[in-house]
Amino acid sequence: MPKKLTYIDLFAGCGGLSLGLHQSGWKGLFAIEKSPDAFKTLQYNLITHKEHFSWPNWLPKEHHDINEVLTNYSLQLEKLRGKVTMIAGGPPCQGFSMAGKRNEYDLRNDLINSYIKFVQTVQPKIIFFENVKGFTMEFKKNKEKGLAYSYQVTKKLEDSGYFVKGQLVNFGDYGVPQKRTRFILVGIKKDLKNASQQRVESFFSSLEKNKFVFLKEKGLTTTTNLQDAISDLFKQNGLKETPDSPSFQSGIYGKQKGNYQKLMREGIKNDIVDSHRFPKHSQVIIDRFNHILEETTERRNFNISTEIKEKYNIKKRTVIPLNAVDKSPTLTTLPDDYIHYQEPRILTVREYARIQSFPDWYKFQGKYTTGGNLRVQEVPRYTQIGNAIPPLFGEQSGLILKQLIHS
């Protein structure tokens, strides 16, 4: 029996990429995630429930800051050289994000250098790196003369001994019911047998070629849309008390429609949907949402017009009524950016998870949402999901990465 391919997940979040790699046959060594909230979700599902990681004794099973791990466990990391197949993950992306205000001085951008230092210390055979689309855009004022961070990272990884290729990929093309374009970078160590620039570049063509067979085996297609993903989760199906929030009500399952929902609901026995807690909208908000839905039947999946904002005195920058028969726009970490396509409400955590292709057995931990000053400190459930790599894409990547190391 061949030896399991191993990886370390950096900036692991709630475990979207790790779940995809688990489903494609990889074995995790450990994961590094700074947020206690996101780590709780990863721990509950993948460490405890699935026993996916062969966690080393020297590293406590808890949330960690990457720089503290690099400082406190440098000897242990150096001993992993030659023993780790892959380092996966991507640093937090807020400083590069096109959804927010791009800020080249955002301190989180420095975590790119921590990522590179980790790679240089452990020297895995291959690298899988993900970041936002804005990562490829030029900054005007940085010291490196406005070069895109993607170019700088590529150069540093090449100098560290890797053949590297980066490319923008839309996860929506891979069966995810969401238009979500991200920068994906793959690298392979130059001193490996048969390593070459052509081989690392073949990752993207193989990924594209393989998706049809992969999706067909699951009964899926590339065109999965929003109603394919969440039309069994209507509020009108009925309500029950939310198990982890007794003062709220949760939705129950409606009739299963289509293979995407079948895949998401596999193994589920309960009628109450996990993390499907409905918000307590006031009647004013419900009426406003109803009016917006009526007035935007011809223009969905776009921010509402200035006229509609003025009409309903909406100060919010983004309000997008969703389109049932199209893929969702890229989910942000702010659930009140979207109005459900049929019901006058925002999406629930579970609907967010469905759109990101997390199966329903994957249980999210911590607060549902947060606000004010806590936004920069806490990572509630919506944020965990909004920041994640869709497991369905992670699984497809995991399969091609296995080919890359074995070819």
Contact predicate 18/12, CB 8 Å: yes
267 CB-contact burial (10 Å; exposed 0-12 / middle 13-18 / buried 19+)? exposed
State the Cα–Cα distance between residues 382 and 41, nearest whole angstrom.
12
User: Checking DSSP bridges between strand 338-339 and strand 320-321, what pairing results, if any?
Assistant: parallel
SS3 breakdown of the chain: % helix, strand, coil, rounded to 5? 40, 15, 45
Give me the catalytic one of 77, 86, 87, 93: 93
State the Cα–Cα distance between residues 370 and 377, nearest whole angstrom.
10
Active site residue 14: no
State the Cα–Cα distance between residues 121 and 21, nearest whole angstrom.
23
**What single DSSP character describes residue 178?**
B
Q: What would you report as the CA-atom Rg of the chain, rounded to the nearest whole angstrom?
A: 21
CA 198 to centroid of chain Cα atoms = 28
DSSP per residue, 118-157:
HHHHH--SEEEEEEEGGGGSPPSSSTTTT--HHHHHHHHH
User: Checking DSSP bridges between strand 181-189 and strand 27-32, what pairing results, if any?
Assistant: unpaired
Catalytic sites, residue numbers? 93
